[in-house]
Amino acid sequence: MKEVAVYRIRTDAVRRADCSALAERMPSRMEKAMRFRFERDRLLCLGAGLLMIQALGIRNESELRYGEYGKPYASGYPSFNISHSGEWCVLACGETDNIGVDIEEMNEKHFDVAPVVYTEEERDWMKTDPVQRFFRLWTWKESVMKATGMGMNLDPGSFEVLPFGEGKPVRIRNRNWYAWDERLEGCRVSVCADEPIEQLRWTEIGE
């Protein structure tokens, strides 16, 4: 059983933040953020950088490496993963070797993808509470895909995540995966790891 820390930062906190350390340590991320047309996208990009610095202690962007499918990691630091949606950016990190996190703003406009990404059993399960269950399924799947390191290279329709709703693991690629999920205002958040999660410790940056 492992403890996982989940750090979160809201876009308005990023707007107020002093980004001088980010500009010094992660100039490429600053440049990337400034290329976004919309302010919220820019703030979420900056928020991810701030979380890597404040939560992980990343000293320089040169410490970051990327796996075969683009998942970031940093030697000498805890395993981590980042996601953002709506007004929130989140970073999960912990003792486990493989971790994934996904946050999604709950918006019904996404429902038309259900036949593509969910199995028939998952779609049936979704019917009794469509909004909440759609996004529980969505974030469970995305967090698993990110935890494996494959991201969208793992077809979300190729595996089923309903056991997570019963507190049971899902077996994918010869490994058990465990997940936990919760609401965060108008979003749903899921964390997945290759070991059971004993405790999730939440910390908000820039409250």
**What pLDDT shows up at residue 3?**
85
**What pLDDT shows up at residue 1?**
61
Average pLDDT over residues 35-45: 97
Q: Is the pLDDT of residue 11 over 90?
A: yes
Give the pLDDT confidence of 115-152 residue by residue, as tens digits: 889 999 999 999 999 999 999 999 999 999 999 999 99
Amino acid residing at 174: N
**What pLDDT shows up at residue 198?**
81
Q: Which domains does the chain possess?
A: 2-205 (3.90.470.20)
Q: Give residues with Cβ within 8 angstroms of 134, minimum separation 6.
A: 110, 111, 114, 126
Collapsing DSSP to helix, strand or coil, 135 comes out as helix
| H-state helical runs in the chain | 11-16, 20-25, 27-34, 39-51, 114-117, 120-126, 130-147
Average pLDDT over residues 34-54: 97
C-alpha–C-alpha distance, residues 21 and 39, integer Å:
20
Q: Is 177 exposed, middle or buried (0-12, 13-18, 19+ CB in 10 A)?
A: buried
Average pLDDT over residues 106-115: 84
For residue 80, give Cα distances in angstroms to 4, 5, 117, 123, 146: 10, 9, 25, 30, 10
CA quadruple 15, 21, 24, 27: dihedral sign? negative
**What pLDDT shows up at residue 169?**
96
